[in-house]
């Protein structure tokens, strides 16, 4: 298990701090056995549907965690920038957002909107992990909560691989439903760059630097735990 090197009495330099953040890529969920099987074309349609249904619960919760961050942020300039993330996912009256795009993905893999919106297949482990993330962002200082979002640093490469795999190995999926990933290839680097610079510039104590890295580890762990639950599948007895 990777650990954070403890600092001396001096701060990490910006380069050292950034290196500590990037080192957490080894914890990112693209390395999970479930995603590896996805990228090798080994998932069954049932597994793909379960993944899409449970990931929807995460997607719909992203604006909630971003709103929680905003509620704790006293700086107008940061709020004006960060609110764009909520719009990206919720959309506007005349434009689709990431949540709508994920609903279309669900339909492309054979789920109905009703099944997704009613959360019929959301697993307890996934619900627990996602709700813990919202609570983390609600209760932590805004800068530490922002640091937890830095999994976006690792997202574009994983998304590019996942998109190629879905198109190559899962021809039964309507490719129009994969637009969410195409859009995120543009959004994620922009969002990650802003958040990274904010964290690097504002974390000016040893404690805040270490807490930022720990927040990123927390986020990596909850993404991993979601896939643990999805890979295991539904274990509850089914009732009429």
CATH numbers and ranges of domains, the chain: 27-231 (1.20.910.10)
The residue among 118, 115, 105 whose CA lies nearest residue 184 is 105
- What pLDDT score was predicted for residue 240? 43
Tell me what pLDDT residue 62 has.
97
Q: Is the pLDDT of residue 1 over 50?
A: no
In 3D, which of 238, 222, 157, 220 has the Cα closest to residue 27? 220
Mean pLDDT of the chain: 95
Helices (H), 73-141: 76-90, 98-108, 113-117, 124-139
- pLDDT tens digits, 69-87: 999 999 999 999 999 999 9
Task: Report whether pLDDT(2) > 80.
Answer: no
pLDDT digits 0-9 by tens, 166-219: 999 999 999 999 999 999 999 999 999 999 999 999 999 999 999 999 999 999
Instruction: Report the pLDDT averaged over residues 136-163.
Output: 97
The distance of Cα 112 from the centroid of its chain, to the nearest Å, equals 23
Structure-token pair, residue 64 = 């909630």
- Predicted pLDDT of residue 95: 81
């Amino acid at each position: 298990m990777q650990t954070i090197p403890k600092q001396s009495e001096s701060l990490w330099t910006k380069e050292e701090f950034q290196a500590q953040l990037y080192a957490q890529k080894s914890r990112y969920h693209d390395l999970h056995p479930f995603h590896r099987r996805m990228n090798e074309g080994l998932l069954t349609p049932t597994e793909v549907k379960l993944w899409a249904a449970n990931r929807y619960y995460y997607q719909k919760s992203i604006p909630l965690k971003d709103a929680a961050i905003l509620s704790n942020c006293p700086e107008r300039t940061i709020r004006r920038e960060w609110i764009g993330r909520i719009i990206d996912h919720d959309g506007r009256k005349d434009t689709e957002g990431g949540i709508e795009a994920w609903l279309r993905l669900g339909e492309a893999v054979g789920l109905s909107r009703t099944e997704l919106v009613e959360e019929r297949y959301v697993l307890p482990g996934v619900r627990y992990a996602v709700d813990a993330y919202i609570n983390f962002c609600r209760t932590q200082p805004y800068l530490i909560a922002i640091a937890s979002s830095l999994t976006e640093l690792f997202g574009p490469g994983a998304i590019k691989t996942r998109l190629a795999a879905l198109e190559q190995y899962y021809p039964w999926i309507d490719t129009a439903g994969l637009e969410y990933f195409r859009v995120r290839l543009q959004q994620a680097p922009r969002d990650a760059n802003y958040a990274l610079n904010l964290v690097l510039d504002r974390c000016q104590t040893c404690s805040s630097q270490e807490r930022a890295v720990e927040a990123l580890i927390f986020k990596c762990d909850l993404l991993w735990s979601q896939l643990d639950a999805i890979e295991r599948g539904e274990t509850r007895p089914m009732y009429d």
